[in-house]
Amino acid sequence: MGRTSKIEKFYDLNIDQRLRKVAEFSDLTEEEAGILLDPDKEKMEIMDHIIENVFSTLELPVGVATNFVINGRDYLIPMAVEEASIVAACSNAAKIARSTGGFTAEAGEPIIIGQIQLVDYGNADNAKASIMKNTDRILNLANSRSRTLSSMNAGAKDINIRVLDDLSKSMVIHLLVDVRDAMGANIVNTMCETVAPFIEEITGGKVNLRILSNLTPQRIAKSRAVFPASSIGGREVVRRIISACDMANIDPYRAATHNKGIMNGIDSVLMVTMNDWRAAEANAHTYSHISGNLSLTRYYENESGDLVGEINIPISVGVVGGTTGAIQKVKIFRKILGVNSSREFSMVLASVGLAQNFAALRALCSEGIQKGHMSLHARNVAITAGARGQEAEKIAEIMVKRGNISVSSAQEIMADLRNAYNEKDNHRNET
């Protein structure tokens, strides 16, 4: 029989047994399986409770972005990312902004929307009237699911109703929930499920979906910074950056790449703090689609001829709950970041996103994106080819000069360098 991915009760196996099954299926060598085996049993036990079918872990390099001043306070920003140049570019952008006082940021209330989809409700006006008449009862029922939020005068605050004019023939009840310092997904979902039977009872309809929305238009984070023209190549570069952002605001093809650059920075911080970066991506890109501004940032020239950058972005993050406290490294990274509330965290993330976007635009509008990026990428290529330490730096330098950055080029240069070293070493021994 051929190999099969149908493995009975794979989830009941311990981690070592799962790894053996994967190794057998994939024809892994003992060396390859050994690389996947994590010897830290305590850590792996925690991992095994976070997701299903755990058999290994993946490490990403964690760097730290320096130079950030946000609302007058200094921050070091841990970032987990595989792409070369992101941490360096972010740090450099923050350094330029630092000379004019850094970033000024603010964030909206941490409101999450829970959606309850109602179908087969008969007359829409009658169903809406029944829901609005019972608003207080619905809110009280929702808030019965969280004593913590209720004690903080937070929790479910209001509802609104939308009738969707499409083939779904649905009415959607939005439950507006103040989740404070939590990301909020679990409690909002629980609230939606709790109030659903009551909504069915008072409307005569049937509830289908009961889940949060990852779009948070009330939870907007804003940041602003001034980048001196003298530090970025003069007023011509200022105008080029403004023009590039204007293009992103009207061209969806450019906007996708423009906003991806913002998320390069934000996602890296979300990953190192184990926040949901997929939700952040969906939130940001959907908001750019509905807001009337495809670009999440805007730039303009001030009276002094310097570049002013601004970002408006919906951000839903938490500093409590979830898996943020389950893994020791994540707790330490959060301590380094030093944020004390979800709103403060949102302001930091918005500032990082603006810095990353500015850095990308500056590179694009001056020397080109490849010059700095590929110089750093060349080191990764050299390491992939087998080089280490100073040898990797030297090989990267030669590849950049030659304009040929590839594994085969790195291997060729490495062979030449090692041959030259061996010849020199032999010559010394002979003399």
What is the spatial distance between Cα 202 and Cα 378, in angstroms, rounded to a whole number?
65
Indicate if 258 belongs to the active site.
no
Q: Do the Cβ atoms of 315 and 107 come closer than 8 Å?
A: yes
What is the spatial distance between Cα 103 and Cα 354, in angstroms, rounded to a whole number?
9
What is the spatial distance between Cα 403 and Cα 378, in angstroms, rounded to a whole number?
10
Backbone angles phi, psi at 193, to 5 degrees: -70, -30
Q: Give the burial class of 348: count Cβ atoms within 10 A of its Cβ; 0-12 exposed, 13-18 middle, 19 or more buried.
A: buried
Catalytic residue among 222, 276, 344, 377: 276
Beta-carbon count within 10 A of 283 CB: 21
For residue 385, the SS3 value is coil
Name every residue whose Cβ is closer than 8 Å to that of residue 350 and which is 6 or more positions away in sequence.
105, 107, 221, 222, 223, 311, 313, 315
Catalytic residue among 157, 260, 285, 329: 260
Q: Do the Cβ atoms of 138 and 159 come closer than 8 Å?
A: yes
For residue 136, the SS3 value is helix
Beta-carbon count within 10 A of 410 CB: 26
Radius of gyration of the chain (CA): 27
Q: Do the Cβ atoms of 172 and 115 come closer than 8 Å?
A: yes
Catalytic residue among 83, 158, 416, 425: 83
Tokens of 159: 């509802």
Indicate if 49 belongs to the active site.
no
Catalytic residue among 128, 222, 373, 377: 373
Q: Which helix (H) or strand (E) holds 373?
A: helix 369-384
Taking CB atoms within 8 Å and a gap of at least 24, the contacts of 278-282 are 279/183, 279/185, 279/214, 279/316, 280/315, 280/316, 280/317, 282/214, 282/215
What is the spatial distance between Cα 112 and Cα 150, in angstroms, rounded to a whole number?
15
Indicate if 276 belongs to the active site.
yes
User: End-to-end alpha-carbon separation of the chain, Å?
Assistant: 65
What is the spatial distance between Cα 223 and Cα 309, in angstroms, rounded to a whole number?
8
Tokens of 7: 């493995």
Indicate if 120 belongs to the active site.
no
CA angle, 382 as apex, 376 and 412 as ends, to 5°? 135
Active site residues: 83, 260, 276, 373
